[in-house]
Structure 1
Amino acid sequence: MIRRIIAVPVILWALGFLWFAIALPQPAPQSQTDAIVVPTGSGGRIQRGLEMLQVGAAEQMLVTGVDTTVQPGEFQAQFDVPDRVMNCCVTLGFSALDTRGNARETAEWLEDRGYSSIRLVTADWHMRRAAAELSEQLPDTVSVTRDAVRSEASFGTLFLEYHKLIAVWTLQALG
């Protein structure tokens, strides 16, 4: 009897992890939003955000979670951002230290500008948790397009991120 009681949550956990690892979010088709939000982290995120910005998919882009030692000119040079784009349309956010902080920084930035739609650009393995944290901070009136950047995440990354997502969902259910 005890084996069965233990087996049920273990099986649910394993099936959940399998779903998490196999059914990673996908890139979104080009569509118009007010802004693009890119949490710093794994490769390809900022490039994807800049690509969408430069094709006119949004007016502005926030890069949230930028290290405080990074200068705008360094960012611009590293990602080859044209002056006209950097000067008009890219905001570097320096206050976030983690995904929850990215969500807070994003919510404040959106509220300051009165935006009601965003394209969230992050790694496929990070998308669910980033969107969950963001949903806690944003009003229901803000629509979020999830634009996942494909990655080659390791088993360890997927394993850790799955547990972080479970923690976020648990806290949201209790909160």
Structure 2
Amino acid sequence: MIARVGAFVLLLYLLGFLWFAAALPQPVAGGKTDAVVVPTGGPGRIDRGLAVLRDRDAREMLVTGVDREVKPREFAEEYRVSAATMRCCITLGFAAVDTRTNASETAAWVEKRNYKSLRLVTTDWHMRRAARELARTLPDNVTILRDAVPSRPRLGVLFLEYNKLLASTLAQFLPE
């Protein structure tokens, strides 16, 4: 009996992984939100966030999880952002060190501005967990538009992220 239960759990796990890997979230075309939030850590994320600003699909952008060593001037130079855009529209967040603290940093930023809609820009393989953490942290009246940056992740990256997603999901059922 225990072997059957174990085999069933393993089958569910493997089928879940196949779904996770085969059905990665996709980019979103258009759609206006109050702001765009970009966690650091993957290629194309910041460029996509800046494109959202440039297209006026959001008024302001938070880049969360920026290394403390990065200066706003360096960020502006690397991504070719004007000083005016940096002043009006881009906030560099230095408090976050992981996906959970990205969500906390974002929630504080959103609350301060009283925003009701966000576009989350992150890599396709990271989107589900980042959106889950963000949704758990934000008030229920804040809408999250998921805008995934396509990638070609290695199997190991997918496996690790799938397990992090499972752990994050299971953690919500544990007492704090």
For Structure 1 versus Structure 2, the TM-score category normalised by the shorter chain is: over 0.9
- 1:40-59 matches, within 5 Å, as 40-59=40-59
- SS of the residue 1:41 aligns to: coil
AA aligned opposite 1:85: T
Q: CA deviation at 1:127?
A: 0.2
Q: CA deviation at 1:56?
A: 0.2
Q: Which amino acid aligns with 2:94?
A: F
Q: Does residue 114 in structure 1 map to residue 114 in structure 2?
A: yes
Give per-residue Cα distances to partners, 1:60-111, cap 9 Å, x unaligned.
0000000000000100111111222112100000000000000000000000
The secondary structure found in structure 2 opposite 1:32 is: coil
TM-score (norm 1): 0.98
Q: Deviations over 1:118-148 (max 9, x none)?
A: 0000000000000011111101000000000
The 2-side partners of 1:85 and 1:28 are apart by 23
The one-letter code of the counterpart of 1:113 is: R
Residue ranges of structure 2 left out of the alignment (5+ in a row)? none
1:66 aligned to 2:66? yes
DSSP-derived class of the 2:62 partner: strand
The CA deviation string for residues 146-168 of structure 1, in whole angstroms up to 9 with x for no partner, is 00000011111000000000000
**Could you tell me which amino acid in structure 1 is paired with residue 124 of structure 2?**
D
Cα distance in 2 for partners of 1:21, 1:173 equals 24
Which amino acid letter does the alignment assign opposite residue 168 of structure 2? Answer: V
Give the gaps of 5 or more residues in structure 1. none
Q: How does 1:71-82 map to 2 (within 5 A)?
A: 71-82=71-82
